Amino acid sequence: MSGAAPATSLTLVQAVRDGLAGELARDDDVVILGEDVAANGGVFRATDGLLDEFGPDRVVDTPLAESGIVGASVGMAAYGLRPVPEIQFSGFLYPGFDQLVSHAARLRTRSRGAVTAPVTLRAPYGGGIRAPEHHSESKEAFYAHEPGLTVVVPSTPRDAKGLLASAVRSPDPVVFLEPKRIYRAFREDVPDEAYTVPIGEATVRREGADVSVITYGAMTQPALDAAEALADDGVDTEVVDLRTLAPLDRETLVASFEKTGRAVVVHEAPRTAGVGAEVVAALQEAALLYQEAPVERVTGYDVPVPLYALEQFYLPNALRVREAVERVVSYR
Amino acid sequence: MDRSARESLLDRDPDDPVRVLDDDGAVVGTVPDLSDSRLVELYRDLRLARRFDARAVSLQRQGRMGTYPPMAGQEGAQVGSAYALADRDWVFPSYREHAVSHVHGVALADILRYWMGDERGSAHGANVFPVAVPIATQIPHAVGFGWAAALAGDDVVTVAHFGDGATSEGDFHEALNFAGVFDTPTVFCCHNNQWAISVPRERQTASATLAGKASAYGFTGVQVDGMDPLAVYRVVAAAVERARTADGAPRPTLVESLEYRFGAHTTADDPTVYRDEAEVERWRERDPIPRLEAFLRDTGRLDDERVAAVETEVEATVADAVEAAEETRRAPPTAMFDHVYAEAPSELTAQRAALAALYERVGEEGFE
Ligand SMILES: Cc1ncc(C[n+]2csc(CCOP(=O)(O)OP(=O)(O)O)c2C)c(N)n1
């Protein structure tokens, strides 16, 4: 990517759409299938216009059946296509869960590499848009827990396009979770040409020396906001965006922690057995002797996401992140 | 209804929809045996449903309510089917059956509370299961509930409501298969409103009818004109009788109600992207409300004065419900920890205490 490359200012969901269009154009084997993805262009417009551009064999409205969507994608992928199924909301993936974990994730190993399922399963996930019941969950840990699956969560338009391209080109199934709360929250210059952002690499969004805030997806922004507020109090906060939840980029996390010795992990998913627990374990395993304070987790609570009247009290925010950081940096 | 009437009504070709009124409200079938006052109440409930729906959409537009799935066009099937139930029967709705739920005992204010983002709207105490948002997932519940009632020797019929799109899900198949195998006292009320968001009925399945799917499970499937409340009443009443062992043993029935959603899928949807306004107009001509009204007027059961009284009553009922819902004090933030388990584990109690302390310290502004 050269600095002079033409770019367009896009929101995250537009960047997803741009990335899908790019992959459809690049590789005739790429097909999109899902509920309301063709004629309607997706309920979030992530596939807007793709039917017109690529036709009904490449962009397909399916019957309302997630097991069918994921299972058929596995079969298509095994035959040589590159299916990119969309699950309308991550909370509706469960009828397809069996196909995802029992087959997509395991075909390669079960067949000793003879049969594979390079499927990129996209789903909007997470809270913060006052959506109805079952539309706001963050269950990324389910997928991160499944050997054979790769789990990616972009937090910027530029990453969304590049990570999506990497996912589609990956030889293995990828669960691509899109934080819908920030689908249209801000814009960024996104290169027009196709490019990839590597899977499995976290990135440092803000450098700092005193404490590491490790997060991903829609929580990246409150983490950065907290870091700005903390800077006024003389606390120099580093913010690490995981981008890929499985496999975890332990190297980047550990490097940050070795520098700061203090960390707060932030996610909106429930706390128990969440990705945060895995991050804490990774830090302890690799850098215990650098640790200067207990690592805190700022997370959703261990309750079903409340309906929207109470949602703001459930989701971690900059205030909760800031207070956790203050406790961690003042620990002696 | 006697057995032969039931059989001729239900056990017909699956593409021969039952009708009582034609599009203009003229009688073309057997008018069900409902008292004059019950018929007028039915009309009132249709008007109430239509008014409620319009208010709910406008509350959403004004930012006073979250996303809402409108039911305009489908009130005839909703109210007609609900009238066929006894109080002790149970309803298993999707997210669109506001009128079914209300007729079966859920206060309008509770329906609004739910769509205003308040779980207490589902604590209504009526024989109506909580709204099921994940498509088709309520259908097996209706089967299991009815099955358990039958095992206990209780005379309870269960009615599952779902859309045409739902018939593509595995849960639909599994539920109907169980019902057929275990003879559960269940009526499957499929509201074929022609669209599952943007996907038209003919792209949902290659089957000629949805009613015809029942034959794969070994029981009856029947189509009914879902814009004709009297026809829906008759068919569902017959199906309920059959579920109630009227013919010796309980048998399930699949009812495919042919209807149309006049409005958007939800307030977050724009139907002009995927469907023709001309199609909407064609279906509007079959609107259940003027149809029933014409019938009631023609048969001397309704006049201008009664219609005006219904309008006034409906307006007041909806206004009261909106006021009651909006006056409800928001639950405290810690309410999210209530009822997660019968008894909260200590970790949850600790999380609750942490949120309570934070809220106490920073107040509402801390969470904006
Ligand atoms: C399992 C599942 N998948 C997808 C969705 C998203 N979704 C909500 S409603 C809907 C269409 C439903 O169509 P239909 O069953 O015909 O009922 P209608 O909304 O027309 O009443 C879809 C795809 C969902 N709620 N649950």
Does the pLDDT value for residue B1 go beyond 90?
A: no
Structural tokens at position A181: 């709360």
pLDDT over 90 (residue B157): yes
Residue A45, chain B, CB below 8 Å: the answer is: no
Chain B within 8 Å of A273 (Cβ-Cβ)? no
Rounded Cα gap, residues A298 and A277, in angstroms:
11
Say if residue B366's pLDDT is above 90: yes
Residue B151 CB neighbour total at 10 angstroms: 10
Q: What is the pLDDT of residue B249?
A: 84
Residues of A whose CB is below 8 A from B116? 309
- Tell me the backbone φ, ψ of residue A100, rounded to 5 degrees: -70, -50
**Which pLDDT band, with edges at 50, 70 and 90, does A183 fall under?**
very high
- Of B55, B161, B242, B265, the catalytic one is B265
**Rounded distance between C-alpha atoms, residue B98 and residue B65, angstroms:** 15
Residue nearest to ligand 1 atom 8, measured at CA: B135
A97 touches chain B (CB under 8 A): no
The one catalytic residue among B38, B61, B88, B274: B274
Which of B46, B41, B161 lies closest to B97 in space, CA to CA?
B161
State mean pLDDT over A290-302: 98
Q: Which parts of chain B are beta strand (E)?
A: 90-92, 158-163, 186-192, 195-196, 199-200, 220-225, 253-258
Q: How high does pLDDT run on average in chain A? A: 97
Spatial separation of the C-alpha atoms in residues A123 and A36, rounded to whole Å:
13
- Give the chain A residue nearest B132 (alpha carbons): A133
pLDDT digits (tens, 9 = 90+) for A49-90: 999 999 999 999 999 999 999 999 999 999 999 999 999 999
Touching check for B206 and chain A: CB below 8 Å?
no
Quick check: B363 pLDDT over 90? yes
Average pLDDT over residues B243-259: 90
Chain A environment of B134 (Cβ under 8 Å): 91-92, 94-95, 134
Number of residues in chain B: 368
CA A286 to chain centre: 24
**Residue A193: CA atoms inside 13 Å, Cβ hemisphere, count?**
7
From the list B62, B67, B118, the residue with the least C-alpha distance to B96 is B67
CB contact under 8 A, A65 and B133: no
Q: Which of A37, A43, A92 to mutate to test the pocket of ligand 1 (most atoms within 8 A of CB)?
A: A92
* Top-tier CATH class for A203-330: alpha beta
H/E element, A323:
helix A318-330
Q: Which residue has the higher pLDDT, B1 or B31?
A: B31
Q: What local confidence, expressed as pLDDT, does residue B248 receive?
A: 78
Q: What is the pLDDT of residue B368?
A: 87
Residue with CA closest to ligand 1 atom 6: A88
B198/A134 CB distance under 8 A: no
Break chain A into its structural domains and give their ranges. 8-191, 203-330
pLDDT in tens, B118-138: 999 999 999 999 999 999 999
d(CA A219, CA A126): 10
Q: Is B64 a catalytic residue?
A: no
Are B32 and B238 in contact, with CB atoms under 8 Å apart? no
Task: Indicate if the pLDDT at residue B299 is higher than 70.
Answer: yes
The residue contributing the CA closest to ligand 1 atom 25 is B134
Coil, strand, or helix at residue A202?
A: coil
CB contact under 8 A, B67 and A130: yes
Confidence of residue B247 (pLDDT cuts 50, 70, 90): low
Give CA–CA dist B184/B244, Å, rounded: 10
Choosing from B100, B135, B188, B259 the residue with most ligand 1 atoms within 8 A of its CB, the one to mutate for a pocket test is: B135
Residues of B254-280 as b/e, b for ≥16 C-beta within 10 angstroms?
A: bbbbbbbbbbbbbbbbebeebbeeeeb
Query: What residues contact residue A21 under an 8 Å CB cut-off, 6+ apart?
Result: A49, A50, A53, A54
DSSP string, B331-347: PPGGGGGTTSSSS--HH
pLDDT at B218: 98
* Ligand 1 pocket check for B96: Cβ under 6 Å: yes
Residue B102 Cα to chain centre, angstroms: 9
What pLDDT does residue B246 have?
65
Length of chain A: 332
Q: Is the CB of B80 under 6 A from ligand 1?
A: no
B261 is catalytic: yes
Question: What sign results for the dihedral spanned by CA atoms A267, A269, A274, A277?
Answer: positive
Beta strands A211-215 and A263-270, pairing class: parallel
The residue-averaged pLDDT of B331-359 equals 98
Of B84, B71, B31, whose CA–CA distance to B289 is shortest? Answer: B71
Assess whether the region A8-191 and the region A203-330 belong to the same CATH fold: yes
* Ligand 1 centroid from CA A25, angstroms: 30
Residue ranges of B 278-317 with Cβ closer than 8 A to chain A: none
Chain B residues in contact with A313 (beta carbon < 8 A): 333, 336, 355, 359, 367
Q: Give the model's pLDDT for residue B286.
A: 97
d(CA B76, CA B231): 9
The secondary structure of B16-33 as a DSSP string is: S-B-SB-TTS-B-SPPP-
Quote the CA–CA distance of A215 and A110 in Å, as a whole number. Answer: 33
Q: Does B255 touch chain A (CB under 8 A)?
A: no
Q: Is A28 on the interface with B (CB under 8 A)?
A: no
In the A/B pair of chains, how many CB contacts fall below 8 A? 119
**Cβ pair B351:A308 closer than 8 A:** no
Distance CA B230, CA B225 (A): 9
Residue A132, CB-side half-sphere exposure with 13 Å CA sphere: 20
Chain A segment 288-307 residues within 8 A of B by beta carbon are: 301-304, 306-307
d(CA A167, CA B88): 53
Atom of ligand 1 nearest to the CA of B96: 21
Does the pLDDT value for residue A3 go beyond 80? no
Please provide the average confidence, as pLDDT, over all residues in chain B: 97
**Cis, bond preceding A247 (omega within 30 deg of 0):** yes
Q: What is the pLDDT of residues B30-86, one digit of tens each?
A: 999 999 999 999 999 999 999 999 999 999 999 999 999 999 999 999 999 999 999
Q: Is B196 in the pocket of ligand 1 (CB under 6 A)?
A: yes
Which among B70, B127, B52, B118 has a CA at the least distance from the CA of B93? B127
Task: Name the residue with higher pLDDT: B275 or B368.
Answer: B275
A8-191 topology per CATH: Rossmann fold (3.40.50)
pLDDT in tens, B184-209: 999 999 999 999 999 999 999 999 99
Beta strands A203-206; A211-215: pairing state: unpaired
Beta-carbon separation of A40 and B274 below 8 A: yes
pLDDT at B295 over 60: yes
Q: pLDDT, tens digit, for every residue of A107-161? A: 999 999 999 999 999 999 999 999 999 999 999 999 999 999 999 999 999 999 9
Please tell me the distance from the alpha carbon of residue A228 to that of residue A139, in angstroms, as a whole number.
29
Contact B197 A43 (CB under 8 A): yes
- Specify whether the CB–CB gap between B111 and B266 falls below 8 A: no
Mean pLDDT value of segment B81-107:
98
Q: Could you give the maximum distance between any two Cα atoms of chain B, in Å?
A: 71
For residue B113, list its beta bridge partners: none
